[in-house]
Amino acid sequence: MKRLLLTVLAAAVCMCAMPLSAGAENVNLTYSNFFPPTHIQSKLAQQWCDEVAKRTDGRVTISYFPGNTLTKAKQCYDGVVEGLSDIGMSALAYSRGRFPTMAAVDLPLGYKSGVAATKVANAVYEKFQPKELRQVKVIFFHAHGPGLLFTAKKPVRTLEDIKGMKLRGTGNSAQLLKALGASPVAMSMPDSYQAIRKGVVDGGVYPMETNKGWKMGEVVDYCTLDYPVGYTTTFFVVMNKDKWAAISEEDQKTIMALGQEYALKHAKAWDESDKVGREFLTEKGGQFIELSEAEGKRWKDKAAPMMDEYVKMANSKKLDGKAILDFTVETLNSAQ
């Protein structure tokens, strides 16, 4: 009897010493994304889900819901917080004013590529660990290449041309439009196609890829290559904190490492998509307008007060706005 008791105790000790992942139950997650299933950013999200299952040997599996089928673009972040979905991808700009630290990334700083913008977004998060995102577990960020101006029917060659135009823009891009003299209209990308086609808005600002990815090249006629005020939009991939806690430490490390890989994949896809988007707009008869150096400076000067406004806004929220902006600019300069 004594020998049997010792055997049972030894077995119990061994069970306690086993890695958490060995005894943990499988975790099944849901992933909400507003990108349609045919969009490259949606396809990459699906690949990430498949890769998570593969690298965790099936301990973590993910059911993917693209195209607003689980939560809408503007609802995605709160949907993750509240548990409507376990994982979500959307744009921080859809919740203007809610993410003051990360808002610095979306300023019109003259971005030239999605790879550079993605490096900046992740670097800013790692550097400042903003409280604004503590309701969720951040997996990674990615960001598109330069946001440019696209219009239907009316070409924009100067600041005078843009004055009073109704143009789609969200977050900082809306502020940019206002600074340039336009009237910004906030709407998600899925709503923009019909709005431009029906003349509700005269165009919008977005990355070149959108001409093919969202078929916007079918409803716009002109692209103003306003690179001096090229902005980006930061996209998040975040997880519900309770669901994250249910995953073993081993698998958490795997997911975070995979996040770093896919942040770069998403960034490179943005840049490749920009090339495809330009080709698509060209095929549809779209025209491209280059700003002269002098005109480009005028646009940049008009946008400059946005930097001061950002610092004031961040300071009002008890953040060091200048430190955040300086770091963002320095990181961008080293990334491009």
13 within domain boundaries = no
187 within domain boundaries = yes
Whether residue 224 is found in the same domain as residue 240:
no
> Tokens 């700003």 identify what position?
291
The string of DSSP letters for 269-285 reads HHHHHHHHHHHHHHHTT
Whether residue 183 is found in the same domain as residue 50:
no
CATH number for 136: 3.40.190.170
Contacts made by residues 80-83, CB under 8 angstroms, sequence distance 24+: 80/32, 80/136, 80/238, 80/239, 80/240, 81/135, 81/136, 81/240, 83/240, 83/242, 83/243
Residue pLDDT, tens place only, 35-47: 999 999 999 999 9
Answer yes or no: is pLDDT of 172 > 90: no
237 within domain boundaries = yes
139 within domain boundaries = yes
Residue pLDDT, tens place only, 173-206: 899 999 999 999 998 887 999 999 999 999 999 9
Whether residue 112 is found in the same domain as residue 134:
yes
The string of DSSP letters for 11-33 reads HHHHHHHS-HHHHPPPEEEEEEE
Answer yes or no: is pLDDT of 14 > 70: no
Whether residue 52 is found in the same domain as residue 197:
no
Q: What is the total residue count of the chain?
A: 336
Q: What is the mean pLDDT of residues 295-304?
A: 97
19 within domain boundaries = no
Structural domain of 321: 147-232+287-335
In whole angstroms, give the CA distance from residue 193 to residue 186.
13
Q: What is the mean pLDDT of residues 270-278?
A: 97
18 within domain boundaries = no
pLDDT band at 24 (very low <50, low <70, confident <90, very high): low
Residue pLDDT, tens place only, 194-245: 999 999 999 999 999 999 988 999 999 999 999 999 999 999 999 999 999 9
Q: What is the mean pLDDT of residues 258-268?
A: 98
